[in-house]
Amino acid sequence: MELNHTHDPQARSWLDSANGPDNDFPIQNLPFGVFRRRGSGETFRGGVAIGNQVIDLTAVTASGTLDGLAADAAHAASQPALNALLAMGPAAWSALRHALFDALSAGASGPRTDALRASLVPQDDVEHSVPTRIGDYTDFYTSIHHARNVGRVIRPDDPLTPNFQWLPIAYHGRASSVVVSGTPFHRPMGQAMPPGSSSPVYGPCARLDYELEMGFYVGPGNALGQRVPLDRAEQHIFGMCLLNDWSARDHQFWEMAPLGPFLGKNFCTSVSPWIVTMEALAPFRVPFSRPADEPQPLPYLDGAANRAQGGVDVRLEVLLETAQHRARELAPARLSATSFRHQYWTPAQMLTQHTVGGCNLQPGDLLGTGTISGPTPEEAGAMVELSLGGSRAIPIEGTDEQRRFLEDGDRVILRGWCERPGVTRIGFGTCEGEVLPINPG
């Protein structure tokens, strides 16, 4: 995607809160989500984040100040989920983004700007829902560093599976248990094989973990049996979010013989409320390449555009807030930090691979990128890596606590943002979730 005036680093908004240097939602971002006023019982509807406010797209639509494709897109986004907007495709997404950008810009005036001012709702006063009706959720496994780290726990002598460097591996997850950031969940129950035992036991998960991931939402779908070629894949991707694929490692490792994850993954997946569009991410695209001595992608997963800018440089970090942090009013402790640019496969390659067998993706479907880990130990995207499979205790900064896996009361916070010299920083907000004790029922 080429840069345009909505990426201008000199652009400012008449909304002062959008102009701060550490603000996640400047005018160059304009991410989409679904919201309502907290505790109001209102219908959820589409909104756009700007500074510390949310633009109510239902109110903007009712004002009649938008026209053409931008008006159609705003109307589609005024529903309780964003599926209708995502189905419209890049031209509509861009038309609405540009109309909002122009009316939000410093010095803008007129009925459209007045309508935006009147539509603003403070972010502190809203609650969110999952942005789309997710028909299907697929989670990939595309970090070679994560694959090697976890592989050494399961298969020390042969950590990387033979197919990993040839195709984006994935499993189909459970869409019904995808929840929006801030939703707590109960520690899951299941079967596990204790070390040295000859028979499994049933009980609460003893090795509960997080996974630092990103997700991306499908825009226009494809018909059953119709493949999406790599050079058109990003026309089917609306934008990206933060994602935490919570994992019951003891249950997962026992049940993944011979099939894929089941109870180890299906109890909860958290997503951040805001979707940062691919257009907003354009200034942060980076080349995709492989070392010459490693397998190169097969032709259907290779292309000049993907090589030139298939990657995205999103800075990521994981924070842990324990009950002790809350009791002592301490800031959460950072566990790790890395970048999405290290991923072994790009979003376009993931989407193309998903369709080559004829699978029909639909607007609003969610695809997870898999755990994001970097090349150094402190860039690990999961606790199973940081603790070396539970063999090493992780000291929690600011407290006298240690962790090998998550405990009840732990709150995991994912943060993501993009920045580079000469470009306005944009952010994803946070993706948060707290572990509750097992549900006695």
Question: DSSP readout, 388-441?
Answer: TTTTSPEE-TTSS-EESS--TT-EEEEEEEEEETTEEEEEEEEEEEEEEPPP--
Give Cβ neighbours of residue 148 (< 8 Å, ≥ 6 apart). Answer: 159, 160
Other beta carbons within 10 Å of 61: 22
Catalytic residue (one of 145, 146, 251, 354): 146
CA dist., res. 354 & res. 362, Å (int): 12
With tokens 């909104």, the residue in question is 47
Task: Extract the tokens encoding 2.
Answer: 């080429």
SS3 55: strand
CA dist., res. 427 & res. 47, Å (int): 16
Nearest of 278, 241, 231, 342 to residue 2 by alpha carbon: 278
Q: Does the CA dihedral 319-421-346-152 come out positive or negative? A: negative
Task: Extract the tokens encoding 327.
Answer: 């009791």
E strand or H helix at 121: strand 120-122
Task: Extract the tokens encoding 370.
Answer: 């898999």
Q: Which amino acid is at 386?
A: L
Greatest alpha-carbon pair distance for the chain in Å reads 74
Q: Is 353 exposed, middle or buried (0-12, 13-18, 19+ CB in 10 A)?
A: buried
E strand or H helix at 28: none
User: At 317, phi and psi to the nearest 5?
Assistant: -145, 155
Q: Rounded to whole angstroms, what are the CA distances from 236 to 50, 199, 227?
A: 25, 46, 12
Other beta carbons within 10 Å of 251: 29
CA dist., res. 380 & res. 395, Å (int): 15
The residues pairing with 368 across neighbouring beta strands, listed in sequence order, are 139, 215
98 classed as catalytic: no
Q: Rounded to whole angstroms, what are the CA distances from 69 to 66, 215, 429?
A: 9, 27, 28
CA dist., res. 126 & res. 315, Å (int): 26
Q: Known catalytic residues? A: 146
